Structure 1
């Protein structure tokens, strides 16, 4: 397989997030978080939206001591075809939910309805604990179904094995099968996104599975229960 996983560098940011937006531009969550951006804005790395987004990412990289961005490279072409964000808490996490302060009014209410339940669960189970959080894994649609997502996830699992720390993520419905194959298990608790927050117009409520992976000898928080 002509793929390799490497840490993303500052010059990689536009290509990394082209993978992200190409994979998720049409999803309700991205639509809610960036309601004023058109699909063209999201996919064009030279658009004013993407240039501002790149500047924001660089600013975050200058301050974060826990989040690592990985890239998957097609070694036959040199193209970046996938990405993943991993938060690694080798010391107890001090992460707290943030604010969607670039949004206002109804747009902010809709985005918060989708994001805040996810943040609440993360705080409930992991506040002050040592663990790994897989924030997102994205593969450019042209390269999906070729094992790239598994490679990006396995890169994080290697850190989990080396540190003995559990891994936590929120899965899409489409991603559950991949994560189960890699040994993830689903928690009893989940998050449900309501149809009206997803956009309505025939949308159904969507359950967001919360999943964990525990290395040999690792432990889960006492307040966490897994499905049988």
Structure 2
């Protein structure tokens, strides 16, 4: 039995995001971005939330020119067990900060407090640069610890090698080992998530601010120049 990484098709949208939301339904940023959605809303492909999400994703695919969605398929069952989003900037990136316009008030403030530092670091280091951005790697909880995350990362590394471009990733603390094993190196830049934004309403004093690990993978070791703002730790 093995796993095969393929480009996701339009017909795969629901199954691909079954994996994503199963993996990240309890993630702090996911909960901040979709505060009104229940776990059932996120994981049930027939929920109104998921139907709207699928429609939005389809529209996004039809207009976006840089982001590629991958699926990892169990070759024995044919089931999608992993997914990844890669932004590939063969020409200098025209990415700019977005807006969290679907939220208002305190909910929007919290989401922007979590996303803003990541957007700021990315803009500072990679504006108008050529690179790959590993937006997300997700593995269904039922299929974790079987090397699927590594396979999805390796797919992106092959593209980076072919294009001779670095890869940039904002890692969760749980995924650091995956990227380190894959040869990624830490950057000095480390945005901080404040405990008040990570754990709203919790006042027991046990919660701490968290640095966000930023990492880069360089094809051919030191054979390419990184942008001036990108400093290795």
Fold match (TM-score > 0.5): yes
Matches within 5 A, 1:5-44: 5-44=5-44
Please give the alpha-carbon distance, in whole angstroms, between the structure 2 residues aligned to 1:223 and 1:52: 38
Per the TM alignment, residue 191 of structure 1 is displaced from its structure 2 partner at its CA by: 1.3
Matched, 1:149 2:149: yes
Please give the alpha-carbon distance, in whole angstroms, between the structure 2 residues aligned to 1:203 and 1:8: 39
Aligned to 2:216: 212
Alignment check: 8 A CA contact 1:166 1:219 kept: no
Deviation sequence 1:113-159 (CA, Å, 0-9, x none): 00011001000000000000000000000111110000000000000
| TM-score using structure 2 length | 0.96
Count of residue pairs the alignment pairs up: 227
Per the TM alignment, residue 79 of structure 1 is displaced from its structure 2 partner at its CA by: 0.5
Alignment check: 8 A CA contact 1:84 1:152 kept: yes
Please give the alpha-carbon distance, in whole angstroms, between the structure 1 residues aligned to 2:145 and 2:207: 26
Aligned to 2:82: 82
SS of the aligned residue for 1:145 comes to coil
SS of the aligned residue for 2:63 comes to coil
| TM-score using structure 1 length | 0.98
Per the TM alignment, residue 85 of structure 1 is displaced from its structure 2 partner at its CA by: 0.2
Per the TM alignment, residue 222 of structure 1 is displaced from its structure 2 partner at its CA by: 1.6
SS of the aligned residue for 1:76 comes to coil
Per the TM alignment, residue 80 of structure 1 is displaced from its structure 2 partner at its CA by: 0.3
Runs of 4 or more, structure 1, over 3 Å off, are: none
Aligned to 1:175: 175
Cα RMSD (Å): 0.9
Please give the alpha-carbon distance, in whole angstroms, between the structure 2 residues aligned to 1:195 and 1:95: 29
Alignment check: 8 A CA contact 1:183 1:213 kept: yes
Unaligned runs of 5+ in 1: none
Matches within 5 A, 1:49-128: 49-128=49-128
Please give the alpha-carbon distance, in whole angstroms, between the structure 2 residues aligned to 1:16 and 1:114: 25
Per the TM alignment, residue 218 of structure 1 is displaced from its structure 2 partner at its CA by: 2.2
